[in-house]
Structure 1
Amino acid sequence: MIPAGHTAVMAQRCEAPDSLDLFCTPPWATRALIESVLRPRLLCRRWESAWDPACGLGHMSAVLEEYFAPVVATDVFEHGGVRTPWPAAWLRVQDFLDEQAETPVVDWIVTNPPFKVADAFVLRALELAQAGVAMLVRTAWIEGADRYQRIFNAHPPTFVAQFCERVPMVKGRWDPTASTATAYAWVIWTVRRGSAGHDPRARCTDLIWIPPGQRDALTRPDDAMRLGFQADAPLLACVE
C-alpha cells in the first residue's frame, strides 16, 4: 500500500510538457460501468472482447477481465517496466493513435484516455470498435463548441453516465484513501457496422446517474493486494 500524502486529481491540473497523463482508475469505477450502465441494458455479455488502449499499469484492464474475454491491454509507454498483474490479458507498447499500427479486432474499446488527446481517442475508437466505446472522462470534457461539432454532433453518444460520487485518481498509482474535487462520467457509444462504417444507434443521448455508494459496494477485499502498485514513470505533475 502507498502511504498517505497523495495528491488527487482536481478540476484543473498542470502537467509536465512530456507528461503521459498516468492517472490510475479505481477498480470500482470500472465495475460501475458494467454493473450500473451496461449490464442492466444488456449492452455487453461475458463473451465479448474488450481493448483498453491506454492501460497504464492495468488497473482498468484487470477489472475488465472480470466481465470480458479476451481483454487486450496496450499503452504508448511501458510504465516503470511493470508487468501485467492478470494472467489472460496481454500488454504491448503501442500508440493507439498510430494509424499504421496493427490493431486487434474487438467488440468494445473501454479506457480512461489521456486528457490532452481524449478527442482523438474517441474518434479513433469509433473507427475500430465493433460494438461499443466507453470513455471515462472528466465531466467538464463534454463542454466546448469545437468538441460538440467534431464529436457530439457528428457522433452522438448513446449514454452519458454521470457519477453521483467522486472518483479519486492520483498520479502513477491507485490510492484507495484518496479524495478529489473533480467530477467524472462515462461517455458511451454503441455502434453498428455497415457499408458506411460507424453509425450511432440513436441520434439522441440518454443521461444516466451512477448512484452513490458504488465505491463501497464495488470495491473488493483483494483489490488493494492485486492492484495497489505504482509506477516510477518519467512524469511529474503539479496539481491544484
Structure 2
Amino acid sequence: MVKPLSEYFASVKYADAFDYGYGPVRDFLSYPYETNAADWVITNPPFRLAEEFILRSFDVARHGVAMLVRTVFLESVGRYNRLFLNDPPSVFAQFVERVPMVKGRLDQKATTATGYAWLIWEHQKRDASKLAWIPPCRRQLERLSDYSDDQPALF
C-alpha cells in the first residue's frame, strides 16, 4: 500500500510485521507510538488482529483510521458490542469485485472467493455509518510495473 499511497500523500510512514524487503519491521500493537502520532492510520492488518489494530489506531491517528478487512469482519455480536456499538465506522466501503490477496507479494493471476471492504473512521464525523460500493476498478488501476520481478514486495 505504501507505493500507491505515496502517489497521493506528501509523507507516508510505514512498517510491517514481517520482512518483505520493504520498510522496517515493527509490531504495530506493541510499538510505543505516541498519541496522535499520525494524521491517518491506513493498513491491511493481519485479519485475526484487525479489531486490536483498529482500537490501537484510534489512539495513534489524529484524523482517522482506514482498515482493509474481510467483509465477514462485521459478523460478530462480540465485535459489535466491543467496537461498532460505540465507535461505528463513518464509511463501510465494499469492493464489488473480489480483490485477490497473496501474502507478501503481488500476483497478477491470483483469484479469490473472499469479499473485502474498507472500514473508515473519521474522528470529526459522528453521523450514522455510510455504506459505499467500490466499483470494479482493478484492471483500470493496475500497471504492468506493479508486477515486475525486480520490485520488492509492497505489502
Please say if residues 174 and 228 of structure 1, whose CA atoms lie closer than 8 Å, have aligned partners that are also in contact: no
- Structure index of larger Rg: 1
Q: TM-score, normalised by structure 2?
A: 0.89
Equivalent residue for 1:139? 71
1:122 maps to which of 51, 54, 65: 54
- How far apart, CA to CA, are the structure 2 residues paired with 1:184 and 1:149? 22
- Show CA shifts across 1:158-206 (max 9, x none): 00000010000113311011111000001101014xxxxxxxx124110
In the alignment, the residues of structure 1 paired with residue 46 and residue 94 of structure 2 have an alpha-carbon distance, to the nearest angstrom, of: 19
Q: CA RMSD in A?
A: 2.1
Supply the distance in 2 between the matched residues of 1:70 and 1:131 (Cα, whole angstroms).
15
Residue 94 of structure 1: how far off its partner (Å): 1.8
CA distance 1:111–1:226, shift in 2 (3 Å): farther
Higher RCO (C-alpha 8 Å, min separation 6): 1
Unaligned runs of 5+ residues in structure 2 are none
Q: Distance in 1 between matches of 2:150 and 2:142?
A: 11
Q: CA 1:173/1:150 → structure 2, altered by over 3 Å: closer, same or farther? A: same
Q: Give 1:42-61 correspondences, 5 Å limit.
A: 60-61=1-2
1:128 deviation in Å?
Answer: 1.3
Aligned CA distance change for structure 1 residues 154 and 178 (closer, same or farther; 3 Å): same
* Alpha-carbon distance between aligned partners in 2 of 1:173 and 1:227, rounded to the nearest angstrom: 12
**Equivalent residues of 1:113, 1:121 under 8 A apart:** yes
1:217 pairs with 2:130: no
Aligned to 1:77: 18
Q: Which secondary structure state, in structure 1, belongs to the residue aligned with residue 144 of structure 2?
A: coil
The total of aligned residue pairs comes to 153
Alignment TM-score, normalising by the size of structure 1? 0.59
One-letter code of the match for 1:205? S
Determine helix, strand or coil for the equivalent of 1:140: helix
CA deviation vs aligned residue, 1:90-144 (integer Å, no higher than 9, x gap): x322211116x24582111100000111100000101111111110110001110
Aligned to 2:4: 63
Q: Partner letter of residue 121 of structure 1?
A: F
Q: What's the secondary structure of 1:146's corresponding residue?
A: helix
- Find the counterpart in structure 2 of residue 173 from structure 1: 105
- Give runs of ≥4 in structure 1 deviating > 6 Å: none
Flag the 1:229–1:94 CA change in 2: closer, same or farther, 3 A: closer
In structure 1, what is the equivalent of residue 88 of structure 2?
A: 156
